[in-house]
Chain A
Amino acid sequence: MASLALHEADGGATIALGGRLDAYSVGPLWSTARAALASHPRTRLTVDCRAVDYCDGAGVALLLDMLRQPRPAGAEVRIDGLAERFRSLLDQFDPKSFAEEAPARPRRGFIERVGIAGTEFWADLRGQIAFIGEATSALAYALRHPRMLRWRDILYVAEEAGVNALPIVALIGFLMGVILAFQSAIAMKQFGAEIFVANLLSLSILRELGPLMTAILLAGRSGAAFAAEIGTMKVNQEIDALTTMGLDPVKFLVVTRVLAATAMTVPLVVFSDLVGLIGGALVMLTFEIPIATYYKQAVSFATLTDFMGGLAKSVVFGVLIAGIGCLRGLQTETGASAVGISATNAVVSGIILIVFVDGVFAVVYYYLGI
């Protein structure tokens, strides 16, 4: 272990260091050494290192810390008796150059931060608009040249984002139907109107909840996956490799994902609608409404237009989720945390877009009388 002792003498003081000075042992000595220096601000101080038998980088840092303290002329700190092999470690540094604090990260003022946030928002918006244009032209090209598409990739993404999402979509869809039916049936029972639960369920699930819940699930599942995958490819310079091979990353990665995810969103929404209505039917059984009655009531009320309106929305949701996931992936900066940020951004922007577009659809459907 290391030791430190302070000896007073006329005309100066001596700090005797001894033992093994390493990262584990100098910690406790550090403040004592500082205090010794502070208590003798105007006298010459000698640091006696003759008893030091080991001194690594941490010990050197301790000596440097004593040497770098600003002291008046005639009261300098002198290192004495340090073995030659340790001396060479100390001599490679100029203590005075450590006197000033290492440059901290530049701090920004409020106005500067607002400005940066504003320009970042503007740049992001421009990036999104440019990406929409690029992706649209790439999609249009792909649809005109379907033989150029990488069908194997599309099928793989379709399986990953579609088929493998079935269990979670079924679970949420079923739960939604059950909860909605149960809560509304309790209220309607007071008026003996339980049968109208079928109306409520069929309309709300087909028009709104089926597409919306499925889209939010896919944003969390596939949108994040696309962003993380493409983001990691970007960090690994795979995107650069595609670019220099003359393969446009948007055509190569985005088109396959957007096509596959969109194609899968529609059947997933149909599935979610169906499972939701079945969940509702099972709850209605407990309110003594047979499945046949529930079915007739639902079919007589909800129209094909309601169903198709929901599916039309889900196509748009699919494009948005896959598109924003890919965009966030392509925007990834370097480093491991950047991939996490991209995945988070993909989910957040995906959900915001879904909600916004859903509102637009509601207004449009209202004016079209659908």
Chain B
Amino acid sequence: MTAAGQNEVVIRVENLRTGFDDFIVHENVSFEIRRGEVFAILGGSGCGKTVLLKHMIGLYRPLAGRVLISGEDIATAQGERRLAILRRFGVMYQLGALFGNMTLLENIRLPLEEYTSLPDDAMDLLAETKLRLVNLGGAGHRTPSEISGGMMKRAAIARALALDPDIVFLDEPSGGLDPVTSAELDQLVLRLSTSLGITFVVITHELPSIFAIADRCIMLDKRAKGIIAEGRPADLRDRSPNPRVRHFFNREAESEA
């Protein structure tokens, strides 16, 4: 894992078709995510960003095509092999999805208790460091019902990081956060990606955040049922031939598309 190069592909999506019953969300979507990069999935509301994410983390089965995480198909892997893939990534869900009957510390401790042999107070210490990473130091004894929405998001990120996975999926991490916290979160993502080589897959609408952190991005579109742009955010903003992409990056209303 050491210096296998920045060009190693960790996630490969091949000709993915997704949908429900007779309703197709994506058609023929393919892209690659390389180790250590911060990869953003963009697009207007309702274009299926979260649906794509749920296919990438194995919650939904694709209608056609494959999602490979380090070369392994997550949809067909079974038993131990599936567990091994699942342990390689952490997910922060849009609404946090913290367990309501546990304190924040217990939420983060849960994967540590289940998967590692750390001594009890080591788990507490490790969980506390994760909480401090997201500026929630000392809040470990609170329950999710006692904290604000922004705190819940940050706690959810801390939980996703509990086992220091290779890949972290963030579903709208900065939605509903104040600009300062949001900027701090961007710093955290950058620091973790440069120092530990964690690959981040981020779903977001926040333009400042996209320009600050994303190495590369894809932009999904509802009408195209797939990717309409791929590349570096600044390039897409300035040089995309597609007006819809430029509208998005320049935050302009789409009066006539």
The residues of A with any CB-CB pair to B shorter than 8 Å are: 20, 22-24, 26-28, 30-31, 53-54, 56-58, 60-62, 64-65, 68, 85-86, 88-89, 92-93, 97-98, 102-105, 333-338
* B138 touching A56, Cβ below 8 Å: no
* A57 touching B161, Cβ below 8 Å: yes
* B191 touching A58, Cβ below 8 Å: no
Chain B residues within 8 Å of A54, by CB: 1-2
- Which A-chain residue is minimally distant from B196 (CB atoms)? A56
* A64 touching B112, Cβ below 8 Å: no
Chain A residues within 8 Å of B116, by CB: 23-24, 27, 58
Confirm or deny: B23 has a beta carbon within 8 angstroms of a beta carbon on chain A.
no
Chain B residues within 8 Å of A93, by CB: 129, 132
Confirm or deny: B78 has a beta carbon within 8 angstroms of a beta carbon on chain A.
no
**A57-B126, A105-B141, A333-B145 as given contacts; A23 in contact with B195, CB under 8 Å:** no
In Å, the complex CA distance between A335 and B89 comes to 26
In Å, the complex CA distance between A97 and B132 comes to 11
Distance (whole angstroms) from the CB of B50 to the closest CB of chain A: 18
* B122 touching A102, Cβ below 8 Å: no
Distance (whole angstroms) from the CB of B107 to the closest CB of chain A: 12
In Å, the complex CA distance between A92 and B119 comes to 23
**A23-B164, A31-B119, A61-B126 as given contacts; A88 in contact with B196, CB under 8 Å:** no
Most central of B1, B130, B194, B196 by chain A CB within 10 Å: B196
**A23-B115, A24-B116, A56-B164 as given contacts; A338 in contact with B100, CB under 8 Å:** yes
In Å, the complex CA distance between A28 and B126 comes to 15
Distance (whole angstroms) from the CB of A284 to the closest CB of chain B: 52
Apart from the given pairs A53-B2, A54-B2, A98-B128, 20 other A-B contacts in the complex at a CB distance below 8 Å: A20-B1, A23-B118, A23-B162, A24-B116, A30-B119, A30-B122, A56-B164, A57-B126, A58-B163, A58-B164, A61-B125, A68-B125, A85-B195, A88-B191, A89-B196, A92-B132, A102-B128, A102-B140, A333-B145, A335-B145
Chain A residues within 8 Å of B101, by CB: 335-337
Q: Which of B193-251 contact A (CB under 8 A)?
A: 194-196
Can you list 5 A-B pairs, Cβ within 8 angstroms, ordered by A? A23-B115, A24-B115, A57-B129, A58-B164, A103-B138
User: Which of B2, B122, B145, B195 touches A86 (beta carbons < 8 Å)?
Assistant: B195
Chain B residues within 8 Å of A337, by CB: 100-101
* A62 touching B164, Cβ below 8 Å: no
* A26 touching B118, Cβ below 8 Å: yes
In Å, the complex CA distance between A28 and B118 comes to 7
**A23-B112, A31-B119, A61-B129 as given contacts; A105 in contact with B195, CB under 8 Å:** no
User: Which of B122, B129, B141 touches A104 (beta carbons < 8 Å)?
Assistant: B141
* B118 touching A335, Cβ below 8 Å: no
User: Which of B124, B140, B145, B195 touches A89 (beta carbons < 8 Å)?
Assistant: B195
**How many interface residues does B have (CB within 8 Å)?**
36
In Å, the complex CA distance between A338 and B144 comes to 12
* A30 touching B128, Cβ below 8 Å: no
* B196 touching A65, Cβ below 8 Å: no
Most central of B117, B129, B132, B163 by chain A CB within 10 Å: B129
In Å, the complex CA distance between A24 and B87 comes to 11
Chain A residues within 8 Å of B163, by CB: 23, 58
Distance (whole angstroms) from the CB of A150 to the closest CB of chain B: 30
Most central of B100, B101, B133 by chain A CB within 10 Å: B100
* A27 touching B117, Cβ below 8 Å: yes
Confirm or deny: B42 has a beta carbon within 8 angstroms of a beta carbon on chain A.
no
Most central of A64, A65, A88, A335 by chain B CB within 10 Å: A335
- Which B-chain residue is minimally distant from A335 (CB atoms)? B100
- Which A-chain residue is minimally distant from B137 (CB atoms)? A97
Distance (whole angstroms) from the CB of A107 to the closest CB of chain B: 11
Chain B residues within 8 Å of A60, by CB: 129
Confirm or deny: B170 has a beta carbon within 8 angstroms of a beta carbon on chain A.
no
In Å, the complex CA distance between A64 and B128 comes to 11
Chain B residues within 8 Å of A65, by CB: 122, 125
In Å, the complex CA distance between A132 and B122 comes to 52
* A62 touching B145, Cβ below 8 Å: no
Distance (whole angstroms) from the CB of B10 to the closest CB of chain A: 16
- Which A-chain residue is minimally distant from B119 (CB atoms)? A30
* A103 touching B141, Cβ below 8 Å: yes
- What 3 A-B pairs are tightest by C-beta distance, nearest first? A335-B100, A27-B117, A56-B164
Distance (whole angstroms) from the CB of A60 to the closest CB of chain B: 7
Confirm or deny: B15 has a beta carbon within 8 angstroms of a beta carbon on chain A.
no
Distance (whole angstroms) from the CB of B2 to the closest CB of chain A: 6
- Which B-chain residue is minimally distant from A53 (CB atoms)? B2
Confirm or deny: B103 has a beta carbon within 8 angstroms of a beta carbon on chain A.
yes
User: Which of A20, A56, A85, A98 touches B194 (beta carbons < 8 Å)?
Assistant: A85
* B126 touching A88, Cβ below 8 Å: no
* B100 touching A57, Cβ below 8 Å: no
* B138 touching A102, Cβ below 8 Å: yes
In Å, the complex CA distance between A102 and B104 comes to 12
